[in-house]
Structure 1
Amino acid sequence: MADDTAATIATDARTAVSRDIRKTALDPNFWYPVARSEDVRKGKTHRCSFSGDPIVLARGRRGVFALEDRCAHRQVPLSAGVVEEETIRCGYHGWAYDASGACVSLPYAADCSRAATGVRSYPCREAYGLVFVFPGDAARAELTPFPDVPSATDSRYKIRYLNRRAGCHYSFMHENLMDMNHQFLHRRLMGGIKTYFLGSRRGDAWAEAIYSFRRVSGRQPFGENFILNRGKWRFKRAPLSAEALATPPGDRMVIRTDYPYQTLKFFTAGAREPALDLWNCYIPVDRAQKINHTFGMIMIKRPAKHSFLLDLFWPAIVWFTNGIFAEDRWICELEQAAFDAQGEDRNQEIFPAILDLRSVLIENGLPLPDRG
């Protein structure tokens, strides 16, 4: 964090890319969350998908496993079947598949002249209250780093899970979170917020932007006589001077896309651990990748003293974040509608942090297959 305040905007070194960002597919060779752990109940199936490929999850005695959600026989969804021990039995003819996707039981096998074929299985792991699958080349799963989210296993943090769908390409979601210049969208919830852009940086597979914020107009959450200063609400005895308004507060917000994941960390002045830690992943649902499902976690650190206050204010935090997310989804779906009407990305983007982000998403993504 020591170098954050000195982060520079390297506009001359940006890589030129030609592929339309909205026609860029997400690389499947990563670990992706596709369900909440609590939604995959023992003895039950759970349907999900990645880029139009149907996946069924099931919880057996040994944990959760993932298979292609199609029986090899008549192609009906295995999610309409029955979980028995460590297998899923198709609800049509009773073909049973184990966690490897092999057909291990066929009630009328003795009467058949051919052996039953299996279905695709997906590497599957459970962590942080989420179920992850590896939808790409299964041989690469063990060599691919699994998401590291330390705050999710730290008892000092309280977690709010994000589990919501939006009718837009995943890139709109990355851009929306990275670009904090859109606070005007949330003016009814956040009032007059002054955004201080402190710089952006990027690497081959990552991009980040650093901000600070100050409320300069509108009512404060706790009344007009209070102001957020260094992560605490303090009594405001006089209006802020022009000099103070020109100087960013000591708090820092770092928003980063480490392909394909995205994080937001808010640090109070001088702190080494985030007071708020957000981890998001946007999963393409359909083949055209015009619908995404967000799985994520908002992790808020409990106060060192009176930690119960976080629980007390939790309903208000949920209400506030629901309002923010609803507005973000609405505006991103309008962006998708504009793209669909125009048939191409006509955005005239000028903000350095988003130019960096776009390069990372395109260079690490894949051409979206022409599905006709």
Structure 2
Amino acid sequence: MLVEEAKGKQADGSNTPHYDLRQIDCDPNFWYPVAWSHKVRPGKTFAARYAGHPIALIRPEYGSVYALEDRCAHRQVPLSKGVVDDKGCVKCCYHGWAFDRAGKCVTVPYLNKEGVGRPVKSYPCREKSGLIFIFPGDPALADKVPVPDVAQVGNPEYKTRMFSPRLKCHYTFMHENLMDMNHQFLHRRQMGSITARFLGQDKGDDFLEARYSFARKGGNQPLAEALIFGKHHDYEDREQPVEEVVSIRTTYPYQTLQIHDKDGDLIMDLWTSYVPLGETQQVTQAFGLLSVKKPKWNFLLNLAWPALGIFTHRIFEEDREIVEMEQNAWRELGGDHNVEVFPVVKSLRALLARSGVPNKYAHPVETASKSEDAA
């Protein structure tokens, strides 16, 4: 009830309460990835989670994958420990109760009559771009909400890599980290001395986009960066011109980063979704796909691919350490003490606050700045 009332108050724009952003849950009425397609093999089950809810993914030998609550209705043991029969149903490993894709119990083998076993919850489930998505919210809304387009998966002009790190932090820290390109000092050991230059922003009810270019102030350009974006020269007597535009966009609840060259061509496309695992949503599973435009000589990108993987991994590990430090500070201080000064991040925090749902531990706070809503 608290969740529904709080969501309503935030939506109508009057007497809007402010909540600690780290107690704002993801809105469940969107499609969230919970597994890579290749992890769920034909005739097998797979255990996943969303916000404290155990999910069993089942792929029959023939037919599409489906998702059920990962608890047998009988003794609540995981259905993901069961087996898939030749009809595509999942049979509990304990007593062999069988459930179909709608969650209906179709067999209690030792009673041999219908209507005995209780059903389990089913989730709308879709497969796209190498990911398995579920719709954890109101099932009646699932067909009205589009499954997101993911980077350049399937586009032969791009080479794509996947990544799925787990982070010990609230999903909102990840949105803030990527949106705020002013933290390049953190990555000085990987990227040398570069400065982000803010070029502008666009925003709406459900999105925020910020654009940047970068100027190198010193240090050598990393090989992987040079092979993808071209050589950046040092201009001792003048500022480096805009050679690429980096656009970071949160279209709730997803986030993208695109890089266009000086001719406007898309040369890199990153898509990511931050999926909460636990009930308090302070542990996050990221699912991301990074697409890079193939150069005229494709073998150059293939040669650079391992170096690109190492480079992006090192950058991410620095970001991981920082956001987990932020989460630890939140716990130790008993709440969100961030003093934000960058207007873009203020706008992002307002977007995440009004789009998400205050959880059962949330209570209105007086410290939130109303300027974040107006930024």
The match for 1:20 is 20
Number of corresponding residues: 346
The match for 1:31 is 31
- What's the TM-score once normalised by structure 1's chain length? 0.89
Query: Are residue 119 (structure 1) and residue 120 (structure 2) matched?
Result: yes
Q: CA RMSD in A?
A: 2.2
Query: Are residue 134 (structure 1) and residue 144 (structure 2) matched?
Result: no
Say if 1:16 and 1:359, in contact at 8 Å, map to a contact too.
no
Q: Quick one: percent identity of the two aligned structures?
A: 48
Moved over 3 A (4+): 227-231
The match for 1:354 is 345
Query: Are residue 324 (structure 1) and residue 322 (structure 2) matched?
Result: no
The match for 2:285 is 293
Q: How does 1:4-83 map to 2 (within 5 A)?
A: 18-60=18-60, 61-83=62-84
Superposed CA deviations along residues 314-366 of structure 1, whole A, max 9, x for unmatched, are: 00000011111111111100000000111110000011110111111010100
Query: Distance between the aligned counterparts of 1:229 and 1:163, measured in 2?
Result: 24
The match for 1:3 is none
Query: Distance between the aligned counterparts of 2:361 and 2:18, measured in 1?
Result: 17
Superposed CA deviations along residues 214-237 of structure 1, whole A, max 9, x for unmatched, are: 211112335xxxx96994226x5x
Amino acid at match of 2:246: M
Cα deviation for residue 68 of structure 1 reads: 0.3
**What SS class does the counterpart of residue 59 from structure 2 fall into?**
strand
- Structure 1: tracts of 5 or more residues without a match: 1-14
Query: Distance between the aligned counterparts of 2:116 and 2:33, measured in 1?
Result: 34
Query: Distance between the aligned counterparts of 1:311 and 1:230, measured in 2?
Result: 11
Query: Distance between the aligned counterparts of 1:241 and 1:356, measured in 2?
Result: 35
- Structure 2: tracts of 5 or more residues without a match: 1-14, 363-375
Query: Are residue 257 (structure 1) and residue 259 (structure 2) matched?
Result: no
Query: Are residue 244 (structure 1) and residue 245 (structure 2) matched?
Result: no
Query: Are residue 368 (structure 1) and residue 369 (structure 2) matched?
Result: no
Say if 1:95 and 1:103, in contact at 8 Å, map to a contact too.
yes
Query: Are residue 269 (structure 1) and residue 271 (structure 2) matched?
Result: no
Cα deviation for residue 136 of structure 1 reads: 0.6
The match for 1:160 is 161
Cα pair distance change 1:353/1:17, threshold 3 Å: farther
Cα deviation for residue 110 of structure 1 reads: 3.8
Query: Are residue 186 (structure 1) and residue 187 (structure 2) matched?
Result: yes
Query: Distance between the aligned counterparts of 1:336 and 1:299, measured in 2?
Result: 30
Say if 1:50 and 1:285, in contact at 8 Å, map to a contact too.
yes
Amino acid at match of 2:287: F
Query: Distance between the aligned counterparts of 1:170 and 1:232, measured in 2?
Result: 33
Superposed CA deviations along residues 118-161 of structure 1, whole A, max 9, x for unmatched, are: 10111111111111111111111001122023611211111110
- What's the TM-score once normalised by structure 2's chain length? 0.88
Query: Distance between the aligned counterparts of 1:117 and 1:205, measured in 2?
Result: 39
